[in-house]
Amino acid sequence: MQVAELLGKEAGLFVPSGTMGNLLAVCTWCDVRGSEYVVGSAAHIHIYEQGGTATLGGVHPRVLPNAADGTMDLAEIEACVRPDDIHFAELRLVCLETTHNKMGGVPLSLAYIDAVGALCATHSLALHIDGARICNAAAALGVPVSRVAKAATSVSVCLSKGLGAPVGTVLVGPPEFIRKARRLRKALGGGMRQSGVLAAAGLVALRDILPRLGEDHANMRRLAEGLSTVPGIALRDALPHSNLAYFTLSPSIDWPALQAGLRARGIAVNGAPGLMRLVMHHQVSAAAVEEVIELFRELCTAMV
């Protein structure tokens, strides 16, 4: 209930992962096979969750392009609402993501979320927010988490990632929605006797780490500024809004060698040749950020 109250919702459900939380949300709102939902082309639900909503739920995705700020065009969302006709799948849900991972950790604006919420209300649709990093979004916008989630019918919020708990996501929404989602969680194998132990770590994260997310954002901005001065590295987007950023690498950078050199010094880096993603968390200090910048400089200067 603590997470539900934090997000301004009535009920909550602990699940093992964000992927399961999103799957439960989509399949619960779209509980008639063959119904559909709107999702962004760069959304985590669409790209990284193995098409589970279609495979397991029989739910049809209506995929719209994401703009650089993570939004989908409001007119294009509304155009997905079709007449009540037996030839068409029935639209039941719109999904948003904030902060938006693929778009560089950018938080959706409150005005945009509210506008999508109003559109959904007009057409009797549910609005689900993939809020894996919704606490980071709130910190970046300088508002309570409940304000970010205000227009949403349901939200999944990750207790790991920026909050630093070892495992777990909480799905929140209306009581009847959560009742149905709990039954589906059991069918998917997500009901655990041990959830109380895992949830306890999440409560510690909410108490101790949530108030400090702004420090992670400041450290990420410093890291981005520093790495932008390193030969062969460029920031892909504007300065980071939250705790993650993408960087492009020149062809002269030997990606496997760079990864190995960093790993030898205790630094793990995600990415592929030409592109890498760095993520900040509470265990990385401002002093460590400076060490990382200098190590990148040392390794990359030798390659360029």
Q: In which element (H, E) is residue 289 found?
A: helix 286-301
Distance of alpha carbon 133 from the chain centroid: 5
> Tens of pLDDT along 203-228?
999 999 999 999 999 999 999 999 99
> Tens of pLDDT along 129-181?
999 999 999 999 999 999 999 999 999 999 999 999 999 999 999 999 999 99
Architecture of the domain whose range is 2-208: 3-Layer(aba) Sandwich (3.40)
Instruction: Residue 37: name the closest of 190, 179, 178, 154 by CA.
Output: 154
pLDDT at 194: 87
The Cα–Cα gap between 163 and 209 comes to 6
**Domain boundaries for CATH 3.40.640.10 within the chain:** 2-208
Bridge partners for 220 per DSSP = none
For the residues 229-234, what does the mean pLDDT come to? 96
**Domain boundaries for CATH 3.90.1150.10 within the chain:** 212-301
The Cα–Cα gap between 132 and 186 comes to 22
> Tens of pLDDT along 242-279?
999 999 999 999 999 999 999 999 888 888 889 999 99
Instruction: Residue 154: name the closest of 99, 104, 95 by CA.
Output: 95
Architecture of the domain whose range is 212-301: Alpha-Beta Complex (3.90)
The Cα–Cα gap between 79 and 293 comes to 47
pLDDT at 14: 97
pTM: 0.95
> Tens of pLDDT along 81-135?
999 999 999 999 999 999 999 999 999 999 999 999 999 999 999 999 999 999 9
